[in-house]
């Protein structure tokens, strides 16, 4: 098939962008599916009784060989990632999907739980088994883990979409879809403010 110079240039530009900016969070459900999922989620006030304990979510477990979940996501979401014999990244490049900031030191990257562990706890995970919480905290199949800058991850904390959204506005649709995808899969509830915010963001997806 013949491609014009413009079309070929466009394809090459897209391919180059994909190499430089993989943003490899597993693809969330579509906007339409996310809206359907959101409509079916139970709406109730959050509860922190019993009190949240991060230790009840065993995370960064060994995935294969000596590689744990954090190291696996660093390799997945980065480009030109070099790892040592212990599986830890020694160099590479990462682009934080939430704000587009680039980093070349793995130490400046955190692995964000899209739906934070405490948020999961107060919306249903407090009733789960430890094994269920471990699966949630290390989920590489759903759009739940993303390599982001540490300062941004700290700013997000355990906030839900009514309280925090990625600074990069072009990523907010993806983030809202991912949030709903994860909550729906795990049967977690939403509070009224959270649902209102998600409804607003998903209306433009």
- Tens digit of pLDDT for each residue in 128-181? 999 999 999 999 999 999 999 999 999 999 999 999 999 999 999 999 999 999
Specify the higher pLDDT residue, 127 or 23. 127
Share of the chain above pLDDT 70, in %: 88
Tell whether the torsion through CA atoms of 79, 139, 141 and 64 is positive or negative. positive
Contact predicate 125/133, CB 8 Å: yes
Give the model's pLDDT for residue 23. Answer: 56
Closest to 181 measured CA to CA, from 144, 127, 151: 144
What is the gyration radius of the CA atoms in the chain, in angstroms? Answer: 18
Cis amide linkage into residue 115, ω under 30° from 0: no
pTM for this model (two decimals): 0.88
Residues near 47 by Cβ (< 8 Å), separated by ≥ 6?
A: 122, 126
Per-residue pLDDT band at 22 (split at 50, 70, 90): very low
Measured CA to CA, the distance from residue 190 to residue 184 in angstroms comes to 10
Q: Show me where the domains of the chain are located.
A: 26-202
Q: Look up residue 190 and give its DSSP letter.
A: B
Confidence check: pLDDT of 2 > 50: no
C-beta neighbour count of 158 within 10 angstroms: 17
How far is it, in rounded angstroms, from Cα 25 to Cα 142? 8
Residues forming a β-bridge with 64? 67
Strand partners, 89: 83
């Amino acid at each position: 098939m013949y491609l014009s110079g413009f079309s070929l240039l466009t394809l090459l530009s897209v391919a180059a962008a994909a190499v430089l900016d993989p943003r490899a969070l597993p693809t969330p459900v579509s906007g339409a599916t996310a809206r359907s999922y959101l409509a079916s989620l139970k709406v109730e006030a959050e509860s922190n009784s019993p009190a949240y304990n991060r230790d009840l979510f065993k995370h960064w477990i060994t995935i294969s060989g000596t590689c744990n979940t954090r190291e696996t996501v660093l390799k997945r979401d980065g480009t030109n990632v070099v790892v040592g014999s212990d599986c830890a990244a020694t160099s590479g490049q990462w682009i934080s999907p939430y704000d587009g900031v680039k980093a070349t030191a793995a130490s400046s990257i955190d692995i964000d739980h899209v739906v934070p562990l405490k948020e999961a706890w107060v919306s249903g995970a407090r009733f789960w088994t430890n094994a269920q919480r471990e699966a949630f905290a290390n989920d590489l199949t759903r759009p739940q883990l993303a390599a982001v800058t540490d300062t941004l991850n700290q700013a997000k904390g355990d906030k839900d979409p009514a309280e925090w959204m990625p600074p990069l506005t072009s990523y907010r649709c993806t983030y809202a879809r991912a949030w709903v995808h994860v909550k729906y899969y795990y049967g977690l509830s939403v509070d009224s403010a959270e649902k209102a915010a998600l409804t607003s963001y998903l209306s433009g997806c």
